[in-house]
Amino acid sequence: MTLRRRLVLSIVALVVAVSAVIGAGSIIALFSIQRSAIDEQLQFATNRAQRSVEQQGGSGPGLDIGRPSGQASGTLTVYFLNGDVIVGSVLDNAGGIERLSAPVVAPLGGVHVDGRPHTIDLGGDLGRYRVTAATVGPAVLVVGLPMAPVYESVWKLLGVVLVVTGLALLAASLVAALVVRRSLRPLDRVAETASTVARMPLDRSDALDGVRVPDTDPRTEVGRVGSAFNRMLGHIGSAMQARERSEQKVRQFVADASHELRTPLASVRGYAELTRRMGGDLPKDVVYAMSRIESESIRMTSMVEDLLLLARLDEGREIQFAEVDLTGLVLDAVNDAHAASPEHPIEVDVPPEPVTITGDAARLHQVIVNLVTNARTHTPEGTRITVGLAPVDGGVDLTVRDTGQGIDPEFLPKLFERFARADSSRSRTVGSTGLGLAIVAAVVQAHGGRVEVTSEPGDTVFTVHLPRDPAAAAAAAGSVASSSSSAEPAEGAGSADWSATPAAVDRTH
């Protein structure tokens, strides 16, 4: 239940409670006042009836109570002698005297002669009466007045109270809703601002610039909340700027270091290769050492190139958009992979017509190569790999599936992080830099797409979603992922003649 609804219901409940207390108090007070008035009138009526009996000089069967002067309509008079009803009557509205039978007035015989009023229900048309008993010689005189006017007044007041309470309830609901809505409007603005911040991509340090709560009046509770919220946004913005500056320094360092390392690594590789070629008279262990230096320098150069590529992608560079034939890129990458690793059967599942999108051919070719290389590097020989293309609404899905032993579920969330490795769950036959999948994620995000992975024993699927829309791809070019990958460096944009498929590659449609 919302705070607004709770406040309105609380106010309405309070109004109902107050109205109920006031109404109940009014009804009780009215009943008490009118009963006191009846008791006072009853005393006068009893005195008049006593004087009328005394004026007739006694009691007996021939006693006629009659209508003493001043008695009101509805006045009941009953005369008992030795417990027997001598005479009983009630004055009607026309002023006449209506005789009452003994069974009707028999309950009055039990009224205590104490001079105090009592309430008796006579039933029938008479209903409840307020009666009192007094002695007149050897007899007992019972006089009563009807309680009907009192109850009628009480019921009328109850109706008025219910109507007034209903109107007050309606008015209180409307007023409370308006007042609460107006009072909570600043809180709604705070909540709206918080929701806006929650929906915003916070990967830019200026994302929170200008996002503030307008209500900061320190005299109100909501104003203090708004002021505190604005201070929190300021602290978050400052922290984001500090983080961006730190990341920029790291990216700059990686880019500079990678760039500076390329030349010495090329020199090391060149000298090692030269020594190996000219070292016919060198000992075998020296020749072996030179070959290891050469191979490791090649691996180090590959890692440096990957780091430099990631640094450039982080800066929004390295992406050149043009029309790309994805089918040709897939076939080229699969042919290269089959030549490099014939022990892994690779199938291709592409549509009969070329699949084209807007993107960077070289970088997309690298994505395909990295995914295929990842599949054959981390699975045992004989593992079947399938590379597929499927047009979807607004884009293309590129899938790379293998039948290996799968990826550890605990490792999946960090699979696309830099230098991430899952060697414990997928066999490692060739060392890797741990940057291949990171480059995949970075390039795909630079194209405005996304990459997903599902894995279970016997079925691991990498799915790359790429948009066709050039405008969407260009808009996404400035946004770069923080994760990437490349088990092997890939070069070349791929052949335009996608139909030239060697017999060694199984192609299914």
> For the segment 246-304, what is each residue's pLDDT rounded down to a tens digit?
777 776 776 677 667 777 878 887 878 787 777 667 777 877 888 888 888 887 777 77
- Write the pLDDT tens digit of every residue in 26-85: 999 999 998 899 888 888 888 888 887 777 665 555 555 555 666 778 888 888 877 777
Q: Beta strands of 326-394 (E only): which ranges? A: 346-349, 356-359, 385-392
- The whole-number pLDDT of residue 279 equals 65
pLDDT above 70 covers what percent of the chain? 83
- Write the pLDDT tens digit of every residue in 6-26: 888 888 888 889 988 998 999
User: In the structure encoding, which two tokens stand for residue 52, read together?
Assistant: 């009328």
Instruction: Find residue 23's DSSP bridge partners.
Output: none
How many angstroms separate the most distant Cα atoms in the chain?
A: 167
- The whole-number pLDDT of residue 72 equals 78
- The whole-number pLDDT of residue 105 equals 78
pLDDT band at 464, cuts 50/70/90? Answer: very high
User: In the structure encoding, which two tokens stand for residue 196, read together?
Assistant: 């806006």
Average pLDDT, the chain: 78
- Nearest CA to 455 out of 500, 497, 401 is that of 401
Counting Cα atoms < 13 Å in the Cβ hemisphere of 315 gives: 15
- The whole-number pLDDT of residue 418 equals 75
Name the strand (E) or helix (H) holding 236: helix 221-278
Topology of the domain comprising 3-151: Beta-Lactamase (3.30.450)
- Rounded to two decimals, the pTM is 0.49
Whole-angstrom Cα distance, residue 175 to residue 251?
60
Residue 176 near residue 168, CB atoms below 8 Å? no
Domain boundaries, the chain: 3-151, 221-314, 322-508
Whole-angstrom Cα distance, residue 263 to residue 410?
39
Listed in sequence order, the residues at least 6 apart from 228 whose beta carbon sits closer than 8 Å to its beta carbon are none
Tell me the backbone φ, ψ of residue 386, rounded to 5 degrees: -125, 125
pLDDT band at 421, cuts 50/70/90? Answer: low
Whole-angstrom Cα distance, residue 276 to residue 268?
12
Choose which CATH entry (1.10.287.130, 3.40.50.300, 1.20.1730.10, 3.30.470.10) describes domain 221-314. 1.10.287.130
- The whole-number pLDDT of residue 156 equals 92
Does the domain spanning 322-508 belong to CATH 3.30.450.40? Answer: no
- The whole-number pLDDT of residue 59 equals 54
- The whole-number pLDDT of residue 64 equals 55
pLDDT(466) > 80: yes
